Amino acid sequence: MAGIAAGRGSVGGGVTLVLQPPVEFIVRQHGAFRRALEDLTGLWERFVPLVAAMEERWISSRGDGSWPDLAESTLASKQQRGFSLEPLRTDDRPESLYRTLVDPQQAARIGPGSLIWETDVAYAHFHQDGGDVAGRPPQRQVIPDPIPLADRRTFEAATVSWLNEQAALAFGRL
């Protein structure tokens, strides 16, 4: 019989506490917990604002200071057209590279097993990979690779929080 029982001890009249695991309960709850892990949509939904903030911070900090300065010709062209002088920003059109990377409505695709953050701006890969070909920009990764340690820790903390909530739901803890 599974459960907790207290009673008289078998040695010298002492008192004994007997703990036996409720195996059926554990197996049943384990199944509920495993089912929760088959669809990680809730976790990905938590990640979306975190990734958006990471992208905003990454771009605003010019890749944590790793990006080369814009060429004088690029600055002159941007200034002439009234565009922002910041890298990756031209104007506030929704289809601009900057907007497609920081706007979760455009960048995030959530499925049960993954969160994909992407842009379909045709020239984004030139920034991500950089190059020495004339007319292509030097590397200014638009999606940090590797993800900065502080952001990885933020994602890990969100994951642990979500897992704890799923465990609480499955095992009945608050």
Q: Are 140 and 124 spatial neighbours (Cβ–Cβ below 8 Å)? A: no
Six token digits for residue 85 = 């002088």
As a whole number of angstroms, the distance between CA 174 and CA 168 comes to: 6
Residue 165 counted as domain residue: no
DSSP conformation class of 115: E
Number of domains in the chain: 2
Please determine, for residue 157, whether its predicted confidence score (pLDDT) is greater than 60. yes
In this structure, are 34 and 70 located in the same domain? no
Please determine, for residue 160, whether its predicted confidence score (pLDDT) is greater than 60. yes
In this structure, are 70 and 29 located in the same domain? no
In this structure, are 58 and 141 located in the same domain? yes
Q: What is the mean pLDDT of residues 111-122?
A: 94
Domain that residue 12 falls in: 1-38
pLDDT tens readout for residues 61-110: 999 999 999 989 989 998 998 888 888 887 667 778 999 999 999 999 99
- The confidence score (pLDDT) of residue 5 equals 54
- Cis status, amide bond into 112, omega within 30 of 0: no
In this structure, are 29 and 86 located in the same domain? no
Q: Are 167 and 173 spatial neighbours (Cβ–Cβ below 8 Å)? A: yes
Residue 143 counted as domain residue: yes
In this structure, are 101 and 155 located in the same domain? yes
Alpha carbons within 13 angstroms on the beta-carbon side of residue 124 total 17
pLDDT tens readout for residues 7-27: 555 666 677 777 777 777 777
- The confidence score (pLDDT) of residue 106 equals 95
pLDDT tens readout for residues 124-144: 998 999 877 777 788 999 999
Q: Which of 27-41, 62-76, 156-170 is predicted with the least confidence, judged by mean pLDDT?
A: 27-41
- The confidence score (pLDDT) of residue 105 equals 96
As a whole number of angstroms, the distance between CA 100 and CA 169 comes to: 36
In this structure, are 43 and 31 located in the same domain? no
Residue 169 counted as domain residue: no
